[in-house]
Structure 1
Amino acid sequence: MAPILDRIDEEILKDTKDKLCSDFGIPEIRPFQEEAGIHILRGRHTILDVPTGGGKTLALWFALYYHIISAKRLGTQSKAAVIVISPLVALMTAQAKALNERGIRAVALTSQIKDLVGEFKRVANGDYRVVLLGPEMQDNSDFKNIVLQSKPFLDNLIQFSVDEAHCISEWGPDFRPTYGRLIELIRRLPNTVPQLIVSATLPKDVMDDVRLKLHLGDDFRVISVSNRKPNVALSVRTLQHAQDSFADLVSLFPATSPESLPQTIIYVNSRTIAERMQDFLRAHAPPNLSSKAIRFYHRYLSDEEKAEIERDLRSGILRIVIATDALGMVRLMSVPYVCV
């Protein structure tokens, strides 16, 4: 069974922080990232409430890096493993890719994998340090029989994490009920494995609901970081035309070249509105702005279409995306304008 540390080695801790900074190209580890990692190393359940872009993802890997560096000092390779529950395929795939590029073997167990059973066997064999999966995977019989019955994997599991943990409360009741049943998966793990619960959206009522659904009890730590964002400004504009006409959106188009149109995401409440708004904006766009620069995004698109839109946003090809909240948890480049 993976060790719970009573004592944290200061030299290994320093090397852990240095390695994380080097791997992820950051100047320093933030205090909450280190605090969360140390709580996990000591076997304490931890709730991490940090605003989007605040660095909460890095906290997911802190304890793992400590174990990897500790083993390296002893001349061995760490078998420590981390499970991360995540809501979106794109998010899991991006995180797995980022870790693999840094030499940390990671896998996103999604429906896109052709040989899923083969990946289950590799996870069970201890081939991966990070295993990312959606909550629905807990109902997969092969996952239960191969991964959750593997003594080598379970003995080396150092952390169970839930990213975007507010989904447990907001989606668990009806939209994705498997979120409400994560405790069934947790009960199949060794009871010494600490949980790291991470979100940018944890008001007290949601946090209390998450704590109850995951059976954290009273012995857990909460780390909260302010949501204050000095680089974000809000403006409110009075509509001059009927809301369902979309006519006010024409003001988004610049009078000069298409390149002067800042990338903009417009959030709407339904896929029907997203599709209608795309058609309106394409019909009223300046002649020199390609219709391909305007697209809608919602959960009913295929994974391939979603990936293409995310890629075109990063590259700058797309200038306007009309999206439901399906786009809300995908890590994208900085988009200067967001309309709601």
Structure 2
Amino acid sequence: MDYKLGRTKGPLVARSVVLVISPLVSLMIDQVRSLNTRGVSAVILSSNKGIDRSLVATNKDVSDGKYHLLFTAPEAVVEDYRWRMLLLEPPLNSSLVAIAVDETHCVYKWSSDFRPAYAHLGELRAFSPPGAPMLAANWIVSDLPSSSTAIADYVEALALCGPSMS
């Protein structure tokens, strides 16, 4: 993914944005710092005042296409009107090539009580361009009670269309 998001030049790459949903601020901070060190433009979409401001996006920078990877918590894109509206704006919306849900096991483990926003991530389909895939990453199946039930839950919560498992 590195070569497509910041290392290769060209009109498609210049406008490509991936939205990454992540459960932990500390994980987002580590990932954004690591990506920025490697020359990939990444930032966090957050209203959390405890995060280093150099890692947090402004609406203008996002709209101007300054970043290729936008990291955020599920609550930010499901519950925060400001970020949802930003996803609908043409500069970002037309550049969005994928939505990646990191630590996808959280959908199954936490969506019912602790982190209910995970159960609503499928709503992002309404905000993403047609054909932009939703990717489920870092899936831990070993500690789920029934993998077929878990797969059905993931497909429903993320509104996956024709999921491919690999």
TM range (shorter): 0.7 to 0.9
Residue-by-residue CA offset, 1:19-60 (whole Å, 9 max, x unaligned): xxxxxxxxxxxxxxxxxxxxxxxxxxxxxxxxxxxxxxxxxx
**Partners of 1:68 and 1:80 within 8 A in 2:** no
Question: In 2 relative to 1, CA 222–75 (structure 1 residues): closer, same or farther, beyond 3 Å?
Answer: closer
Q: Distance in 1 between matches of 2:138 and 2:44?
A: 19
Residue-by-residue CA offset, 1:198-229 (whole Å, 9 max, x unaligned): 12413332222101211213x22110xxxxxx
Question: In 2 relative to 1, CA 194–153 (structure 1 residues): closer, same or farther, beyond 3 Å?
Answer: same
Q: Distance in 2 between matches of 1:141 and 1:190?
A: 19
**Partners of 2:134 and 2:158 within 8 A in 1:** no
- The answer on 1:211 being equivalent to 2:149 is no
Higher relative contact order (CA 8 A, sep 6+): 2
Q: Which runs of 5+ in 2 are unaligned?
A: 142-146
Give 1:163 shift. 0.4
In the alignment, which residue of structure 2 is the partner of 1:103? 39
The residue correspondences of 1:53-132 to structure 2 (distance < 5 A) are: 62=1, 65-66=3-4, 68=6, 72=9, 74=10, 78-110=14-46, 111=48, 112-113=50-51, 119-132=58-71
**How many residues matched?**
157
In the alignment, which residue of structure 2 is the partner of 1:176? 115
SS at match of 2:164: strand
Q: Which has the larger radius of gyration?
A: 1
The residue correspondences of 1:210-229 to structure 2 (distance < 5 A) are: 210-217=154-161, 219-223=162-166
Task: Provide TM-score, normalisation by structure 2.
Answer: 0.83
SS at match of 1:83: strand
**Partners of 1:117 and 1:142 within 8 A in 2:** no
Give the aligned residue type for 2:44.
Answer: A
The residue correspondences of 1:275-286 to structure 2 (distance < 5 A) are: none
- The answer on 1:142 being equivalent to 2:82 is yes
Aligned-residue RMSD, C-alpha: 2.5
**Partners of 1:85 and 1:162 within 8 A in 2:** yes
The residue correspondences of 1:1-340 to structure 2 (distance < 5 A) are: 62=1, 65-66=3-4, 68=6, 72=9, 74=10, 78-110=14-46, 111=48, 112-113=50-51, 119-138=58-77, 139-145=79-85, 147-202=86-141, 203-217=147-161, 219-223=162-166
Question: In 2 relative to 1, CA 137–104 (structure 1 residues): closer, same or farther, beyond 3 Å?
Answer: same
Question: In 2 relative to 1, CA 75–222 (structure 1 residues): closer, same or farther, beyond 3 Å?
Answer: closer
Quick one: percent identity of the two aligned structures?
32
Q: Which runs of 5+ in 1 are unaligned?
A: 1-61, 224-340
